[in-house]
A = this chain, B = another copy of it.
Amino acid sequence: MPKTGRPTSKDVAHAAGVSQSTVSIVLAGKAAGRISDATAQAVRQAADRLGYRPNLAARSLRLGQTRTVLLVVPTLSSLFFGAIYTGAARAAAEHGFGVVVYPWPDVSGPARSPFAAAHEAIDGILASSMAVGVLDGLDPLPRVMLDSDPRGEAPTVNFDVAEGMRAVAAHLAALGHRRIGHLAAAVDAWTFRERAGVLSAAVRGRPGAGLVREFTEIEIGAAREAAGRLLDRPDRPTALVCDDDLVAAGACKAARALGLDVPGDVSVTGFDDMLLAKAVEPELTTVRLPAEELGARGMAALLELLDGRRPASVSLPGELVVRASTAAPRRP
């Protein structure tokens, strides 16, 4: 009967002339003081020769843990969440963990089957605040929240959007802008509420300054329309603060459509500093959010949590990047 399928630890044991237990011990790196160097060498060689790799299902069953965590994000068709994934996956890999990602609601079929499927085989959850709805009714697995309200029960890893937004406001104030428009994301998430609150406060704090706000989906057409409404006002803002680079790109388009120059007639700022910010014309003044680092730090916190420790909540600074889309207003 010819051998079929992948070699098991028993096969390795047979090949090396030892017991399966020994193989397990050696390959787990626990040979020190229990197995002689010679035997350990022989086992490793046999494993190598046979191309042995442990069966993860068996290991998971035995250990009661999967060394896999779930990442919940609204979508992966987005550079921002793609970067978060990349950072999270890298950090996880360094600790021998895998990441399965559940984009919600992108993949939500009629049933919640895809999530259910993923959910059975995970040890913990790393979730974006924007996907919080899907987390209801799940097992109380260890959980870390990304860019979410720090007052929640779970540890959080955040961007310091308040500081970023304050920097934007200060930058525009220094240029002499007094009528500010805010293109706010029509998404119910802590980060956007925070941005709106901080911007309002900053503008209110300056005598003679005013703020008007429109909400928009994070989509180019919608952003363009919303920006159009803002720019159509009799007291047209001289600067448009946008919650996202893509929205800012839409705002630039709206301005151009009205015959306005950016930044000559109206300044525009973005948020995120993804690839898009340098691809559009003019290049966007924006707040750089280190999304990949957010993912990595979030994963690190989750792994700490799984390890029984209590990770501290983290807040990553955003950095104002001044490019070509902001300037002093012509007629303040």
Residues of A within 8 A of B (CB): 5-6, 53-58, 60-61, 64, 66-67, 75-79, 82-83, 85-86, 89-90, 92-94, 96-101, 103, 106-107, 109, 113-114, 116-121, 139, 220, 246, 249-250, 252-253, 256, 275-276, 278-281, 292
**Beyond A90-B107, A113-B96, A116-B53, is A252–B278 a contact (Cβ under 8 Å)?**
no
Say whether A139 contacts B246, CB under 8 Å. no
Say whether A253 contacts B276, CB under 8 Å. no
| In the A-B complex, the 5 residue pairs with the closest CB atoms | A93-B114, A57-B60, A57-B61, A56-B121, A56-B120
Q: Which residues of B contact A53 (CB under 8 A)?
A: 116, 119-120
Say whether B280 contacts A256, CB under 8 Å. no
**Beyond A98-B117, A276-B279, is A89–B61 a contact (Cβ under 8 Å)?**
no
Say whether B114 contacts A220, CB under 8 Å. no
Closest to A219 in B: B275
CA of A53 to CA of B328 in the docked complex: distance in angstroms? 61
Tell which of B5, B89, B139, B279 touches A6, judged by Cβ atoms closer than 8 Å. B139
Q: Which residues of B contact A103 (CB under 8 A)?
A: 85-86, 89
Closest to A252 in B: B281
Q: Which residues of B contact A246 (CB under 8 A)?
A: 275, 279
**Beyond A56-B120, A77-B79, A79-B77, is A64–B280 a contact (Cβ under 8 Å)?**
no
